[in-house]
Amino acid sequence: MQRYEIRVLGIDGRTALITAETHWNDAAAICSAKRLAQGRKVEVWRGMDCIFGLDPCQVLTHPPNRTAA
C-alpha cells in the first residue's frame, strides 16, 4: 500500500481540496481521484512525484542555498 495526495483544483486553477489516501497502486489512486473530482481538474501525487494531472504538474522548488563568500 502506498500513500497518495489528491488535489482537486478549482476553476481558477487553485487547489480547492487536498486529501491523503492509501491505495494499492497508482491506477487505484487515479481512479479514486477522478471519482472525487467529479469532472473537475485533479492532480495525484505520490510523495514528490506528480503521477497524474490534467495540466502539467508543477513542482515547487526552493531556491538554491547560497552563502556569501
Q: Would you say 7 and 18 are in contact if contact means Cβ atoms under 8 Å apart?
A: yes
pTM of the model: 0.75
Instruction: Note whether residue 66 is domain-resident.
Output: no
What is the count of structural domains for the chain?
A: 1
C-alpha cell at 48: 514528490
Instruction: Give residue 13's pLDDT band: very low, low, confident or very high (50, 70, 90).
Output: confident
Sheet holding 42-46, edge to edge: 15-23, 2-9, 42-46, 49-53
Instruction: Note whether residue 65 is domain-resident.
Output: no
Structural domain boundaries enclosing 13: 2-53
Q: Would you say 20 and 52 are in contact if contact means Cβ atoms under 8 Å apart?
A: no
Instruction: Give residue 23's pLDDT band: very low, low, confident or very high (50, 70, 90).
Output: very high
Instruction: Note whether residue 67 is domain-resident.
Output: no
C-alpha cell at 30: 487515479
**Is pLDDT of 58 > 80?**
no
Instruction: Note whether residue 61 is domain-resident.
Output: no
**Is pLDDT of 29 > 50?**
yes
